[in-house]
Amino acid sequence: MSSYAVDAYWDTLAQHDPDRGHIAWFSGSPAHDSRDILPLRPLSAPDAPRVRAFRRQYREGVLPPVVLWGISALDTAVVLDGHDRLAAALAEGGRPPVLRLNREGLPELHALLAEPDLRAYQERIAALQRQRDAGDPLAPSKIANEGRRLARELHRTCSGSHLTRGWPLPGGPAAWDALARQHAPGWHPDTDN
């Protein structure tokens, strides 16, 4: 899943379907197919009162982060909190601080994914140890570099987002509304959507 780290992508976020959000799954370019952030509601106008207040915070460098949740089924991240902060940063021509939440992977899956990297590392180290034993003066530094390389490969393999899972709530929308009323008194569903 994309980390949305390419600065050029931020400018396009507010241009795509501002009333609905947008995911560019089928643009034909791998660099563009999984790069979007999906707002869960339309972004407010740049001159909306809350956005104006957040724009000031952005300029002062104290804007709280936008909270994203990586959803593997969408191959994108959704905005959980901070729609107006996102709109403010975009209106100022910048990008907001981001806190991205992802599901943690299972240790068993990490071990399985790391096996090829570990096997390749062991083979490279064995060859370098033979070179060291043969008197190669660079072999010790090459061995140290291989350790750093393994650390990078394992970090890439075992970090980041993993599959997100979801199941229908027994009882459907009525059960959801009841839970929402129970846990958030005064909550009323938006029936206009």
pLDDT of 4 over the 50 cut? no
Pure H helices in the chain: 7-13, 30-33, 49-60, 83-91, 107-133, 139-158, 172-183
pLDDT digit string (tens) for 10-52? 655 655 455 445 555 555 555 554 456 788 888 889 999 999 9
State percent of the chain over pLDDT 90. Answer: 33
User: For the whole prediction, is pTM greater than 0.85?
Assistant: no
Q: What would be the CATH architecture of the domain defined by 7-101?
A: Alpha-Beta Complex (3.90)
pLDDT digit string (tens) for 78-127? 889 999 999 999 899 888 898 888 777 677 777 787 889 899 999 999 99
